Structure 1
Protein backbone atom coordinates (compact mmCIF):
# COMPACT_ATOMS: atom_id res chain seq x y z
CA UNK A 1 0.00 0.00 0.00
CA UNK A 2 2.84 2.39 0.86
CA UNK A 3 4.46 1.80 -2.53
CA UNK A 4 1.23 2.55 -4.39
CA UNK A 5 0.85 5.74 -2.36
CA UNK A 6 4.40 6.70 -3.30
CA UNK A 7 3.65 6.07 -6.98
CA UNK A 8 0.61 8.33 -6.72
CA UNK A 9 2.64 11.05 -5.00
CA UNK A 10 5.37 10.75 -7.63
CA UNK A 11 2.84 11.67 -10.31
CA UNK A 12 1.88 14.89 -8.54
CA UNK A 13 4.71 17.07 -9.97
CA UNK A 14 3.76 16.09 -13.52
CA UNK A 15 0.07 16.62 -12.78
CA UNK A 16 0.71 20.12 -11.39
CA UNK A 17 2.80 20.94 -14.45
CA UNK A 18 0.08 19.66 -16.83
CA UNK A 19 -2.61 21.54 -14.88
CA UNK A 20 -0.66 24.77 -15.33
CA UNK A 21 -0.37 24.06 -19.05
CA UNK A 22 -4.11 23.48 -19.43
CA UNK A 23 -5.06 26.48 -17.32
CA UNK A 24 -2.70 29.00 -18.91
CA UNK A 25 -3.24 27.67 -22.44
CA UNK A 26 -6.99 28.15 -22.06
CA UNK A 27 -6.46 31.66 -20.72
CA UNK A 28 -4.05 32.51 -23.53
CA UNK A 29 -6.51 31.25 -26.16
CA UNK A 30 -9.24 33.47 -24.73
CA UNK A 31 -6.79 36.40 -24.69
CA UNK A 32 -5.97 35.88 -28.38
CA UNK A 33 -9.66 35.75 -29.29
CA UNK A 34 -10.28 39.03 -27.47
CA UNK A 35 -7.33 40.68 -29.20
CA UNK A 36 -8.51 39.47 -32.60
CA UNK A 37 -11.95 40.98 -31.96
CA UNK A 38 -10.49 44.28 -30.75
CA UNK A 39 -7.96 44.69 -33.59
CA UNK A 40 -9.98 43.08 -36.37
CA UNK A 41 -9.54 45.03 -39.64
CA UNK A 42 -7.85 47.93 -37.82
CA UNK A 43 -4.26 47.33 -38.87
CA UNK A 44 -1.37 49.12 -37.20
CA UNK A 45 0.62 48.09 -34.15
CA UNK A 46 -2.21 46.10 -32.60
CA UNK A 47 -2.44 43.81 -35.62
CA UNK A 48 1.34 43.31 -35.60
CA UNK A 49 1.26 42.36 -31.91
CA UNK A 50 -1.58 39.93 -32.56
CA UNK A 51 0.30 38.34 -35.46
CA UNK A 52 3.45 38.00 -33.35
CA UNK A 53 1.54 36.34 -30.52
CA UNK A 54 -0.13 33.95 -32.93
CA UNK A 55 3.22 32.76 -34.31
CA UNK A 56 5.39 32.96 -31.18
CA UNK A 57 2.71 32.61 -28.53
CA UNK A 58 3.19 28.89 -27.96
CA UNK A 59 6.85 29.43 -27.04
CA UNK A 60 6.14 32.50 -24.90
CA UNK A 61 3.38 30.57 -23.14
CA UNK A 62 5.66 27.56 -22.59
CA UNK A 63 8.33 29.79 -21.02
CA UNK A 64 5.71 31.35 -18.72
CA UNK A 65 4.28 27.96 -17.69
CA UNK A 66 7.72 26.58 -16.88
CA UNK A 67 8.72 29.78 -15.08
CA UNK A 68 5.65 29.57 -12.82
CA UNK A 69 6.28 25.89 -12.12
CA UNK A 70 9.90 26.62 -11.22
CA UNK A 71 8.75 28.92 -8.42
CA UNK A 72 6.48 26.19 -7.05
CA UNK A 73 8.89 23.36 -7.74
CA UNK A 74 11.93 24.91 -6.06
CA UNK A 75 10.06 25.32 -2.78
CA UNK A 76 8.69 21.77 -3.13
CA UNK A 77 12.17 20.38 -3.82
CA UNK A 78 13.68 22.17 -0.81
CA UNK A 79 10.89 20.80 1.38
CA UNK A 80 11.74 17.25 0.28
CA UNK A 81 15.43 17.92 0.88
CA UNK A 82 14.74 18.94 4.48
CA UNK A 83 12.97 15.63 5.09
CA UNK A 84 16.01 13.63 3.96
CA UNK A 85 18.46 12.38 6.56
CA UNK A 86 21.41 12.42 4.18
CA UNK A 87 21.74 15.83 2.52
CA UNK A 88 25.30 15.39 1.24
CA UNK A 89 26.08 17.50 -1.83
CA UNK A 90 29.19 16.72 -3.86
CA UNK A 91 31.17 19.54 -5.39
CA UNK A 92 31.76 19.69 -9.15
CA UNK A 93 35.04 20.87 -10.65
CA UNK A 94 35.69 22.24 -14.14
CA UNK A 95 36.42 18.75 -15.49
CA UNK A 96 33.02 17.55 -14.29
CA UNK A 97 31.21 20.40 -16.05
CA UNK A 98 33.15 19.78 -19.27
CA UNK A 99 32.49 16.05 -19.10
CA UNK A 100 28.75 16.61 -18.71
CA UNK A 101 28.61 19.08 -21.61
CA UNK A 102 30.48 16.63 -23.84
CA UNK A 103 28.25 13.77 -22.67
CA UNK A 104 25.17 15.78 -23.67
CA UNK A 105 26.62 16.45 -27.11
CA UNK A 106 27.59 12.78 -27.48
CA UNK A 107 24.08 11.65 -26.54
CA UNK A 108 22.55 14.03 -29.08
CA UNK A 109 24.85 12.80 -31.85
CA UNK A 110 24.13 9.17 -30.96
CA UNK A 111 20.38 9.78 -30.98
CA UNK A 112 20.61 11.69 -34.29
CA UNK A 113 22.54 8.80 -35.82
CA UNK A 114 19.94 6.29 -34.66
CA UNK A 115 17.15 8.51 -35.98
CA UNK A 116 18.88 8.66 -39.36
CA UNK A 117 18.76 4.86 -39.50
CA UNK A 118 15.14 4.84 -38.35
CA UNK A 119 14.30 7.28 -41.17
CA UNK A 120 15.14 4.58 -43.72
CA UNK A 121 13.32 1.81 -41.87
CA UNK A 122 10.21 3.69 -40.69
CA UNK A 123 9.69 6.69 -43.03
CA UNK A 124 6.07 7.37 -42.06
CA UNK A 125 6.78 7.33 -38.34
CA UNK A 126 9.77 9.61 -38.80
CA UNK A 127 7.76 12.00 -40.95
CA UNK A 128 5.34 12.52 -38.06
CA UNK A 129 8.32 12.97 -35.74
CA UNK A 130 9.75 15.61 -38.09
CA UNK A 131 6.50 17.56 -37.83
CA UNK A 132 6.83 17.52 -34.03
CA UNK A 133 10.36 18.96 -34.25
CA UNK A 134 9.20 21.62 -36.68
CA UNK A 135 6.43 22.66 -34.28
CA UNK A 136 9.09 23.05 -31.56
CA UNK A 137 11.09 25.36 -33.78
CA UNK A 138 14.13 23.06 -33.95
CA UNK A 139 14.75 23.55 -37.65
CA UNK A 140 14.40 27.34 -37.54
CA UNK A 141 14.85 28.38 -33.91
CA UNK A 142 13.69 31.83 -32.90
CA UNK A 143 14.44 33.70 -29.70
CA UNK A 144 11.50 32.29 -27.74
CA UNK A 145 11.76 28.72 -29.05
CA UNK A 146 15.52 28.69 -28.32
CA UNK A 147 14.89 30.10 -24.85
CA UNK A 148 12.32 27.42 -24.13
CA UNK A 149 14.21 24.43 -25.60
CA UNK A 150 17.63 25.54 -24.35
CA UNK A 151 16.84 26.97 -20.90
CA UNK A 152 13.33 26.49 -19.52
CA UNK A 153 12.79 22.89 -20.68
CA UNK A 154 16.07 21.49 -19.25
CA UNK A 155 15.71 23.24 -15.89
CA UNK A 156 12.01 22.51 -15.41
CA UNK A 157 12.12 18.91 -16.64
CA UNK A 158 15.10 18.09 -14.44
CA UNK A 159 13.35 19.62 -11.44
CA UNK A 160 10.22 17.56 -12.15
CA UNK A 161 11.67 14.17 -13.10
CA UNK A 162 15.17 13.88 -11.64
CA UNK A 163 14.35 16.17 -8.75
CA UNK A 164 10.85 15.86 -7.31
CA UNK A 165 9.72 12.60 -8.93
CA UNK A 166 12.96 10.71 -8.28
CA UNK A 167 13.16 11.88 -4.66
CA UNK A 168 9.58 10.82 -3.98
CA UNK A 169 10.04 7.40 -5.61
CA UNK A 170 13.26 6.76 -3.67
CA UNK A 171 11.24 6.97 -0.44
CA UNK A 172 9.76 3.52 -1.18
CA UNK A 173 11.85 2.03 -3.98
CA UNK A 174 15.52 1.33 -4.60
CA UNK A 175 17.32 3.87 -6.75
CA UNK A 176 17.46 1.49 -9.73
CA UNK A 177 13.69 0.96 -9.73
CA UNK A 178 12.96 4.64 -9.04
CA UNK A 179 15.28 5.69 -11.87
CA UNK A 180 13.53 3.42 -14.38
CA UNK A 181 10.13 4.73 -13.27
CA UNK A 182 11.05 8.42 -13.56
CA UNK A 183 12.61 7.75 -16.98
CA UNK A 184 9.36 6.06 -18.03
CA UNK A 185 7.35 9.10 -16.89
CA UNK A 186 9.78 11.30 -18.81
CA UNK A 187 9.29 9.19 -21.94
CA UNK A 188 5.49 9.20 -21.76
CA UNK A 189 5.26 12.97 -21.25
CA UNK A 190 6.93 13.56 -24.62
CA UNK A 191 3.75 12.32 -26.25
CA UNK A 192 5.11 10.39 -29.23
CA UNK A 193 6.84 7.04 -29.72
CA UNK A 194 10.10 8.28 -31.27
CA UNK A 195 10.83 10.95 -28.68
CA UNK A 196 9.60 8.65 -25.94
CA UNK A 197 12.10 5.92 -26.80
CA UNK A 198 15.21 8.09 -26.69
CA UNK A 199 13.85 10.22 -23.83
CA UNK A 200 13.67 7.04 -21.75
CA UNK A 201 17.34 6.27 -22.37
CA UNK A 202 18.47 9.83 -21.75
CA UNK A 203 16.29 9.96 -18.63
CA UNK A 204 18.13 6.95 -17.21
CA UNK A 205 21.49 8.63 -17.83
CA UNK A 206 20.35 11.89 -16.24
CA UNK A 207 19.09 10.01 -13.20
CA UNK A 208 22.51 8.38 -12.81
CA UNK A 209 24.13 11.82 -12.98
CA UNK A 210 21.94 13.02 -10.12
CA UNK A 211 22.83 9.91 -8.14
CA UNK A 212 26.54 10.53 -8.66
CA UNK A 213 26.66 14.28 -7.93
CA UNK A 214 23.89 14.39 -5.31
CA UNK A 215 22.34 17.47 -6.94
CA UNK A 216 20.44 18.55 -10.04
CA UNK A 217 23.09 20.86 -11.48
CA UNK A 218 24.92 18.16 -13.40
CA UNK A 219 21.72 16.78 -14.94
CA UNK A 220 20.58 20.27 -15.94
CA UNK A 221 23.92 20.97 -17.65
CA UNK A 222 23.86 17.66 -19.53
CA UNK A 223 20.20 18.16 -20.54
CA UNK A 224 21.07 21.70 -21.67
CA UNK A 225 23.86 20.31 -23.85
CA UNK A 226 21.52 17.72 -25.39
CA UNK A 227 18.86 20.31 -26.26
CA UNK A 228 21.16 23.08 -27.47
CA UNK A 229 23.25 20.72 -29.61
CA UNK A 230 19.95 19.47 -31.06
CA UNK A 231 19.08 23.03 -32.09
CA UNK A 232 22.53 23.51 -33.64
CA UNK A 233 22.49 20.18 -35.48
CA UNK A 234 19.12 21.14 -36.97
CA UNK A 235 20.86 23.88 -38.95
CA UNK A 236 24.14 22.03 -39.71
CA UNK A 237 24.19 19.56 -42.65
CA UNK A 238 26.03 16.85 -40.73
CA UNK A 239 25.66 13.44 -42.36
CA UNK A 240 25.66 10.02 -40.65
CA UNK A 241 29.41 9.67 -41.18
CA UNK A 242 30.09 12.92 -39.35
CA UNK A 243 27.73 11.90 -36.56
CA UNK A 244 29.45 8.52 -36.16
CA UNK A 245 32.89 10.13 -36.05
CA UNK A 246 31.60 12.64 -33.50
CA UNK A 247 30.27 9.88 -31.25
CA UNK A 248 33.54 7.93 -31.42
CA UNK A 249 35.71 11.00 -30.77
CA UNK A 250 33.54 12.27 -27.90
CA UNK A 251 33.38 8.81 -26.34
CA UNK A 252 37.17 8.65 -26.43
CA UNK A 253 37.46 12.08 -24.79
CA UNK A 254 34.95 11.09 -22.11
CA UNK A 255 36.98 7.95 -21.35
CA UNK A 256 40.12 10.07 -20.95
CA UNK A 257 38.25 12.51 -18.69
CA UNK A 258 36.66 9.84 -16.50
CA UNK A 259 37.33 9.81 -12.78
CA UNK A 260 40.34 7.69 -11.91
Structure 2
Protein backbone atom coordinates (compact mmCIF):
# COMPACT_ATOMS: atom_id res chain seq x y z
CA UNK A 1 0.00 0.00 0.00
CA UNK A 2 2.89 2.36 0.85
CA UNK A 3 4.53 1.91 -2.56
CA UNK A 4 1.16 2.22 -4.30
CA UNK A 5 0.61 5.56 -2.57
CA UNK A 6 4.08 6.79 -3.56
CA UNK A 7 3.46 5.69 -7.16
CA UNK A 8 0.22 7.63 -7.09
CA UNK A 9 2.00 10.77 -5.90
CA UNK A 10 4.63 10.32 -8.62
CA UNK A 11 1.85 10.29 -11.22
CA UNK A 12 0.29 13.36 -9.60
CA UNK A 13 3.70 15.11 -9.69
CA UNK A 14 3.88 14.49 -13.45
CA UNK A 15 0.44 16.01 -14.12
CA UNK A 16 1.69 19.63 -14.20
CA UNK A 17 4.25 18.56 -16.82
CA UNK A 18 1.40 17.00 -18.82
CA UNK A 19 -0.53 20.26 -18.51
CA UNK A 20 2.55 22.06 -19.83
CA UNK A 21 2.54 19.80 -22.90
CA UNK A 22 -1.16 20.46 -23.48
CA UNK A 23 -0.64 24.22 -23.22
CA UNK A 24 2.24 24.04 -25.72
CA UNK A 25 0.17 22.00 -28.16
CA UNK A 26 -2.86 24.23 -27.69
CA UNK A 27 -0.85 27.39 -28.28
CA UNK A 28 0.77 25.85 -31.35
CA UNK A 29 -2.63 24.94 -32.80
CA UNK A 30 -4.01 28.40 -32.01
CA UNK A 31 -1.11 30.17 -33.75
CA UNK A 32 -1.45 27.84 -36.76
CA UNK A 33 -5.17 28.67 -36.99
CA UNK A 34 -4.33 32.39 -36.89
CA UNK A 35 -1.91 31.90 -39.80
CA UNK A 36 -4.60 29.97 -41.72
CA UNK A 37 -7.18 32.72 -41.18
CA UNK A 38 -4.62 35.30 -42.26
CA UNK A 39 -3.87 33.37 -45.47
CA UNK A 40 -7.59 32.94 -46.18
CA UNK A 41 -8.21 36.67 -45.81
CA UNK A 42 -5.34 37.52 -48.17
CA UNK A 43 -5.94 34.86 -50.84
CA UNK A 44 -9.73 35.41 -51.05
CA UNK A 45 -10.54 31.99 -52.50
CA UNK A 46 -7.78 31.90 -55.13
CA UNK A 47 -6.02 28.90 -53.54
CA UNK A 48 -7.16 25.43 -52.56
CA UNK A 49 -7.47 24.32 -48.94
CA UNK A 50 -4.27 22.26 -49.21
CA UNK A 51 -2.33 25.22 -50.59
CA UNK A 52 -3.56 27.47 -47.79
CA UNK A 53 -2.60 24.82 -45.24
CA UNK A 54 0.88 24.62 -46.75
CA UNK A 55 1.30 28.40 -46.65
CA UNK A 56 0.11 28.52 -43.04
CA UNK A 57 2.45 25.68 -42.09
CA UNK A 58 5.38 27.45 -43.77
CA UNK A 59 4.56 30.67 -41.91
CA UNK A 60 4.43 28.69 -38.67
CA UNK A 61 7.85 27.12 -39.29
CA UNK A 62 9.40 30.45 -40.29
CA UNK A 63 8.06 32.07 -37.11
CA UNK A 64 8.29 29.11 -34.72
CA UNK A 65 9.48 31.30 -31.84
CA UNK A 66 6.11 33.09 -31.61
CA UNK A 67 4.06 30.13 -30.32
CA UNK A 68 6.89 29.43 -27.86
CA UNK A 69 6.81 33.07 -26.75
CA UNK A 70 3.05 33.06 -26.22
CA UNK A 71 3.18 29.65 -24.52
CA UNK A 72 5.66 31.00 -21.96
CA UNK A 73 3.36 33.95 -21.19
CA UNK A 74 0.41 31.57 -20.77
CA UNK A 75 2.54 29.22 -18.66
CA UNK A 76 3.58 32.05 -16.33
CA UNK A 77 -0.08 32.96 -15.80
CA UNK A 78 -1.30 29.38 -15.26
CA UNK A 79 1.56 28.08 -13.13
CA UNK A 80 2.05 31.41 -11.36
CA UNK A 81 -1.56 31.40 -10.15
CA UNK A 82 -1.27 27.70 -9.21
CA UNK A 83 1.94 28.30 -7.26
CA UNK A 84 0.62 31.37 -5.43
CA UNK A 85 -2.68 29.73 -4.46
CA UNK A 86 -1.15 26.41 -3.41
CA UNK A 87 2.19 27.38 -1.88
CA UNK A 88 2.52 31.17 -1.82
CA UNK A 89 1.78 31.59 1.89
CA UNK A 90 3.46 28.46 3.23
CA UNK A 91 6.37 28.97 5.59
CA UNK A 92 9.81 27.79 4.59
CA UNK A 93 10.98 24.57 6.30
CA UNK A 94 13.26 24.80 9.32
CA UNK A 95 16.92 24.81 8.31
CA UNK A 96 16.42 26.79 5.11
CA UNK A 97 19.50 28.87 4.36
CA UNK A 98 19.32 32.66 4.09
CA UNK A 99 20.70 33.89 0.73
CA UNK A 100 23.17 36.77 0.53
CA UNK A 101 24.34 39.03 -2.30
CA UNK A 102 27.58 37.04 -2.55
CA UNK A 103 25.65 33.75 -2.82
CA UNK A 104 23.46 35.25 -5.56
CA UNK A 105 26.62 36.28 -7.44
CA UNK A 106 28.00 32.74 -7.10
CA UNK A 107 24.73 31.36 -8.45
CA UNK A 108 24.98 33.63 -11.52
CA UNK A 109 28.57 32.45 -12.09
CA UNK A 110 27.43 28.85 -11.63
CA UNK A 111 24.88 29.35 -14.41
CA UNK A 112 27.61 30.54 -16.78
CA UNK A 113 29.79 27.53 -15.89
CA UNK A 114 26.91 25.09 -16.42
CA UNK A 115 26.21 26.57 -19.85
CA UNK A 116 29.89 26.48 -20.90
CA UNK A 117 30.18 22.89 -19.70
CA UNK A 118 27.01 21.85 -21.58
CA UNK A 119 27.84 23.74 -24.79
CA UNK A 120 31.38 22.35 -24.89
CA UNK A 121 30.13 18.82 -24.26
CA UNK A 122 27.66 19.12 -27.16
CA UNK A 123 30.31 20.69 -29.42
CA UNK A 124 32.78 17.89 -28.67
CA UNK A 125 30.13 15.25 -29.38
CA UNK A 126 29.23 17.00 -32.63
CA UNK A 127 32.90 17.11 -33.67
CA UNK A 128 33.48 13.44 -32.87
CA UNK A 129 30.12 11.96 -33.91
CA UNK A 130 28.03 14.59 -35.74
CA UNK A 131 25.27 12.12 -36.63
CA UNK A 132 24.31 11.83 -32.95
CA UNK A 133 23.23 15.48 -32.79
CA UNK A 134 21.90 15.99 -36.32
CA UNK A 135 18.21 15.80 -35.41
CA UNK A 136 18.72 17.91 -32.28
CA UNK A 137 20.45 20.72 -34.21
CA UNK A 138 17.74 20.71 -36.89
CA UNK A 139 15.07 20.91 -34.18
CA UNK A 140 16.79 23.85 -32.44
CA UNK A 141 17.17 25.71 -35.74
CA UNK A 142 13.51 25.11 -36.63
CA UNK A 143 12.43 26.46 -33.23
CA UNK A 144 14.55 29.57 -33.66
CA UNK A 145 16.76 28.72 -30.68
CA UNK A 146 20.13 30.40 -31.10
CA UNK A 147 18.78 33.44 -32.95
CA UNK A 148 19.38 36.81 -31.32
CA UNK A 149 16.16 38.65 -32.15
CA UNK A 150 14.23 40.36 -29.35
CA UNK A 151 11.44 37.75 -29.16
CA UNK A 152 13.95 34.93 -28.74
CA UNK A 153 15.97 36.79 -26.09
CA UNK A 154 12.87 37.65 -24.05
CA UNK A 155 11.55 34.09 -24.35
CA UNK A 156 14.82 32.36 -23.47
CA UNK A 157 16.27 34.72 -20.86
CA UNK A 158 13.16 36.09 -19.12
CA UNK A 159 9.97 34.13 -19.75
CA UNK A 160 11.30 30.56 -19.77
CA UNK A 161 13.16 30.90 -16.44
CA UNK A 162 10.07 32.36 -14.75
CA UNK A 163 7.52 29.91 -16.13
CA UNK A 164 9.63 26.75 -15.95
CA UNK A 165 10.79 27.47 -12.40
CA UNK A 166 7.23 28.05 -11.23
CA UNK A 167 6.31 24.74 -12.86
CA UNK A 168 9.22 22.49 -11.91
CA UNK A 169 10.74 23.86 -8.71
CA UNK A 170 7.64 25.71 -7.52
CA UNK A 171 4.95 23.07 -8.11
CA UNK A 172 6.41 19.71 -9.18
CA UNK A 173 9.14 19.76 -6.51
CA UNK A 174 6.47 20.26 -3.83
CA UNK A 175 4.38 17.39 -5.18
CA UNK A 176 7.50 15.22 -5.49
CA UNK A 177 8.01 15.73 -1.76
CA UNK A 178 4.94 13.53 -1.27
CA UNK A 179 6.73 10.70 -3.08
CA UNK A 180 9.53 10.65 -0.49
CA UNK A 181 10.72 12.73 2.44
CA UNK A 182 14.27 12.37 1.11
CA UNK A 183 15.44 15.46 -0.77
CA UNK A 184 17.44 13.59 -3.40
CA UNK A 185 14.41 11.54 -4.49
CA UNK A 186 12.19 14.61 -4.81
CA UNK A 187 14.99 16.37 -6.67
CA UNK A 188 15.33 13.53 -9.17
CA UNK A 189 11.56 13.48 -9.75
CA UNK A 190 11.35 17.20 -10.50
CA UNK A 191 14.51 17.08 -12.64
CA UNK A 192 12.99 14.19 -14.61
CA UNK A 193 9.89 16.31 -15.23
CA UNK A 194 12.10 19.25 -16.25
CA UNK A 195 13.84 17.05 -18.82
CA UNK A 196 10.51 15.66 -19.97
CA UNK A 197 8.96 19.04 -20.80
CA UNK A 198 11.80 19.79 -23.23
CA UNK A 199 10.40 16.97 -25.39
CA UNK A 200 13.56 15.70 -27.10
CA UNK A 201 16.22 13.25 -25.98
CA UNK A 202 19.32 15.45 -26.21
CA UNK A 203 17.86 18.59 -24.65
CA UNK A 204 15.90 16.51 -22.15
CA UNK A 205 19.08 14.74 -21.01
CA UNK A 206 21.09 17.85 -20.22
CA UNK A 207 17.96 19.59 -18.88
CA UNK A 208 17.67 16.74 -16.36
CA UNK A 209 21.15 17.47 -14.99
CA UNK A 210 20.49 21.21 -15.01
CA UNK A 211 17.27 20.45 -13.16
CA UNK A 212 19.25 18.69 -10.43
CA UNK A 213 21.35 21.84 -9.93
CA UNK A 214 18.26 24.06 -9.94
CA UNK A 215 16.54 21.75 -7.46
CA UNK A 216 19.62 21.83 -5.23
CA UNK A 217 19.46 25.64 -5.11
CA UNK A 218 15.75 25.54 -4.33
CA UNK A 219 16.30 22.93 -1.62
CA UNK A 220 18.98 25.07 0.07
CA UNK A 221 17.25 28.44 -0.03
CA UNK A 222 13.55 27.82 -0.79
CA UNK A 223 13.46 31.02 -2.84
CA UNK A 224 12.04 30.48 -6.29
CA UNK A 225 13.62 33.72 -7.51
CA UNK A 226 17.10 32.28 -6.96
CA UNK A 227 16.21 29.38 -9.26
CA UNK A 228 14.93 31.87 -11.82
CA UNK A 229 18.22 33.75 -11.49
CA UNK A 230 20.28 30.60 -12.08
CA UNK A 231 18.03 29.55 -14.96
CA UNK A 232 18.29 33.00 -16.56
CA UNK A 233 22.07 32.89 -16.20
CA UNK A 234 22.23 29.49 -17.90
CA UNK A 235 19.97 30.55 -20.76
CA UNK A 236 21.35 34.06 -21.14
CA UNK A 237 24.96 32.95 -21.34
CA UNK A 238 24.05 30.58 -24.18
CA UNK A 239 23.33 33.62 -26.36
CA UNK A 240 26.79 35.08 -25.69
CA UNK A 241 28.88 31.92 -25.99
CA UNK A 242 28.77 31.58 -29.78
CA UNK A 243 30.26 35.06 -30.22
CA UNK A 244 32.86 34.29 -27.57
CA UNK A 245 34.03 31.03 -29.14
CA UNK A 246 34.13 32.65 -32.59
CA UNK A 247 37.05 34.73 -31.31
CA UNK A 248 39.25 31.62 -31.40
CA UNK A 249 40.75 30.18 -34.63
CA UNK A 250 38.50 27.46 -36.04
CA UNK A 251 41.38 24.98 -36.40
CA UNK A 252 41.72 24.90 -32.60
CA UNK A 253 38.03 24.21 -31.94
CA UNK A 254 38.43 20.79 -30.33
CA UNK A 255 41.30 21.63 -27.91
CA UNK A 256 39.63 24.93 -26.99
CA UNK A 257 36.30 23.22 -26.29
CA UNK A 258 38.05 20.48 -24.31
CA UNK A 259 39.92 23.05 -22.21
CA UNK A 260 36.75 25.04 -21.48
CA UNK A 261 34.93 21.79 -20.69
CA UNK A 262 37.48 20.90 -17.99
CA UNK A 263 37.82 24.43 -16.59
CA UNK A 264 34.05 24.94 -16.37
CA UNK A 265 33.70 21.60 -14.57
CA UNK A 266 36.30 22.72 -12.01
CA UNK A 267 34.57 26.08 -11.54
CA UNK A 268 31.22 24.34 -11.06
CA UNK A 269 32.77 22.31 -8.27
CA UNK A 270 34.19 25.50 -6.71
CA UNK A 271 30.79 27.23 -6.92
CA UNK A 272 29.03 24.40 -5.08
CA UNK A 273 31.77 24.45 -2.44
CA UNK A 274 31.38 28.22 -1.98
CA UNK A 275 27.62 27.85 -1.59
CA UNK A 276 28.34 25.98 1.64
CA UNK A 277 28.06 22.54 3.16
CA UNK A 278 24.55 22.92 4.55
CA UNK A 279 22.38 20.29 2.91
CA UNK A 280 19.17 21.15 1.04
CA UNK A 281 15.99 20.84 3.08
CA UNK A 282 13.55 18.09 2.12
CA UNK A 283 9.87 18.75 1.47
CA UNK A 284 7.50 17.44 4.11
CA UNK A 285 6.10 14.07 3.02
Q: Deviations over 1:112-153 (max 9, x none)?
A: 221122123321122222222323434332111111111111
| 2:23 maps to 1:20 | yes
Which residues of structure 2 form unaligned runs of 5+? 45-55, 249-255, 278-285
Is this contact kept in 1: 2:16–2:172, CA < 8 A?
yes
Is this contact kept in 1: 2:121–2:261, CA < 8 A?
no
| Aligned-pair CA distance for 1:247 | 1.6
Aligned length: 252
| 2:183 maps to 1:180 | no
- Alignment TM-score, normalising by the size of structure 1: 0.84
What is the aligned partner in structure 1 of residue 53 from structure 2? none
Is this contact kept in 2: 1:9–1:168, CA < 8 A?
yes
Is this contact kept in 1: 2:195–2:208, CA < 8 A?
yes
| Aligned-pair CA distance for 1:175 | 1.8
Is this contact kept in 1: 2:114–2:268, CA < 8 A?
no
Is this contact kept in 2: 1:95–1:257, CA < 8 A?
no
What is the aligned partner in structure 1 of residue 48 from structure 2? none
Farther-moved stretch of structure 1 (209-218 vs 191-200): 191-200
RMSD over equivalenced CA pairs, Å: 2.9
* Equivalent position to 1:197, from 202, 205, 208: 205
Is this contact kept in 2: 1:139–1:235, CA < 8 A?
no
* Equivalent position to 1:110, from 117, 137, 160: 117
Kindly tell me: are residues 142 and 85 of structure 1, through their superposed partners in 2, closer, same or farther at Cα, counting changes over 3 Å? Answer: closer
Kindly tell me: are residues 74 and 125 of structure 1, through their superposed partners in 2, closer, same or farther at Cα, counting changes over 3 Å? Answer: same
- Alignment TM-score, normalising by the size of structure 2: 0.77
Q: Deviations over 1:184-226 (max 9, x none)?
A: 1222222222212211111111100000011211111111111
What is the aligned partner in structure 1 of residue 85 from structure 2? 79
What is the aligned partner in structure 1 of residue 264 from structure 2? 247
For residue 171 of structure 1, give the secondary structure of its aligned residue in structure 2: coil
Query: 1:72-221 maps to which residues of 2 (within 5 A)?
Result: 72-81=78-87, 86=92, 90-173=97-180, 174-221=182-229
What is the aligned partner in structure 2 of residue 227 from structure 1? 235
Kindly tell me: are residues 12 and 242 of structure 1, through their superposed partners in 2, closer, same or farther at Cα, counting changes over 3 Å? Answer: same
Kindly tell me: are residues 139 and 64 of structure 1, through their superposed partners in 2, closer, same or farther at Cα, counting changes over 3 Å? Answer: closer
| 2:17 maps to 1:29 | no
Which residues of structure 1 form unaligned runs of 5+? 42-49
